[in-house]
Amino acid sequence: MIPEHEPREVIRRLVRWAEHRNPIRVMLLTSTRARPDAPVDLLSDYDVVLVVEDISPFFEDHSWLEDFGEVLVAYWDELGPDPDHGVGQTGNVVQYADGLKIDFRLWPVELLRRIAEAPTLPDELDAGYAVLLDKDGLTAGLRPPTYGAYVPVRPDEEAYLKWVNDFFSDAPYVAKCLWRGELLPAKWNLDYDMKHVYLRRVLEWRMEMDHGWSEPADGLGKGLKKRLPEDIWEALEGTYAGAGIEENWEALFRTIRLFRRVATEVADDLGFDYPLDLDRRVTGYVGEIRNLNHGPAKRSL
């Protein structure tokens, strides 16, 4: 049975641990647990930034992770430059056997100094952070978070129309793969590209319509179920299918219908025209592929 960890005790453990390790100069808490009123549960991660004098010892010797329990499995990023400031940094995702999950970012002191001097916070901090420990006052110059990072921006008409166009550009390829019985590429383009990329973004726009374009969109669509109208979510669930080719044909058309509905609602809210002619032409073409007879096998193109 996975035990429930008391959040305040986990934080106390983290702080006590860092206090007794001289290379660690600052400890920050970020992400969900640092955002006011963000929903958390017993499986919510602890996202921690360790600001250290030299990240190499922490990166090369992973034994320090065991200070928080038995490591079930851990993933490490490569050591590489921060995209905004060019200073080397890394991070990991650690799942402990007792259910505790801590994601550590490792920053050198120089990176924190540059962030403190910058006119804006990186999204990781602007979405919410709390200073758990600061031995040298290095966070004194950090701007407070606005909690506005990851809030979807209203698309202009050009961006909106391109997004709709790119969604429909995938549909003929999915249809071709389904007609050929090629399940893997069909599922990749239907479930990832059409749904997880294009449909998810439109669902996030639809969510913002009801939240004044001020609600952060959590990664991978987390939280959408609670923030969308119930019937839209039920329709999304209906777009998922198993391995059967015929059921995936139905899933493709249900995906198109849901996209059409939500994208039209977004367009109406923003004062745009939904490109119905594009929709009709592509949907009709996809239907023609579904109805093609299967002649002699030909070389795939």
The verdict on domain 157-290 having CATH code 1.20.120.330 is yes
In the chain, the amino acid numbered 169 is S
Chain segment 208-261, per-residue pLDDT in tens: 999 999 888 888 888 899 999 999 999 999 999 999 999 999 999 999 999 999
Pairing, β 88-96 against β 24-30: unpaired
Distance in angstroms (rounded) separating the CA atoms of residues 223 and 237: 14
H/E stretch holding 56 reads helix 56-60
CA distance 27 to 14: 9
pLDDT band at 80 (very low <50, low <70, confident <90, very high): very high
Would you give the DSSP letter of residue 44?
Answer: -
Instruction: Identify the pLDDT of residue 295.
Output: 58
pLDDT at position 42 is: 83
- At the second CATH level, the architecture of 7-134 is 2-Layer Sandwich (3.30)
pLDDT in tens, 12-61: 999 999 999 999 999 999 998 998 877 888 888 999 999 999 999 999 99
pLDDT at 301 over 70: no
Closest alpha carbon to 143 in 182, 179, 162, 117: 117
Give the whole-number percent of the chain exceeding pLDDT 90.
84
Tokens of residue 253, six digits: 């058309």
CA–CA dist 145, 125 (Å, integer): 6
Cα–Cα nearest to 84, from 161, 149, 173, 14: 149
Cα Rg, the chain, nearest whole Å? 24
Q: What per-residue confidence (pLDDT) applies to 38?
A: 78
Segment 138-163, tens digit of pLDDT: 999 899 999 988 889 999 999 999 99
pLDDT at residue 300 above 70?
Answer: no
Write the CA distances from 156 to 203, 205, 223, 259, 276, integer angstroms. 16, 12, 25, 18, 18
Could you tell me the CA-to-CA distances from 270 to 62, 208, 275 in Å, in that order? 50, 11, 14
- pTM value is 0.86
Please count the CA atoms within 13 angstroms of the CA of 235 that sit on its side-chain side: 20
CA distance 72 to 100: 10
Do domains 7-134 and 157-290 share one topology? The answer is no
Which alpha helices (H) appear in 92-180, and where do they start and end?
Answer: 109-117, 123-126, 157-180
Domain residue extents for the chain = 7-134, 157-290
Mean pLDDT of 276-295: 93
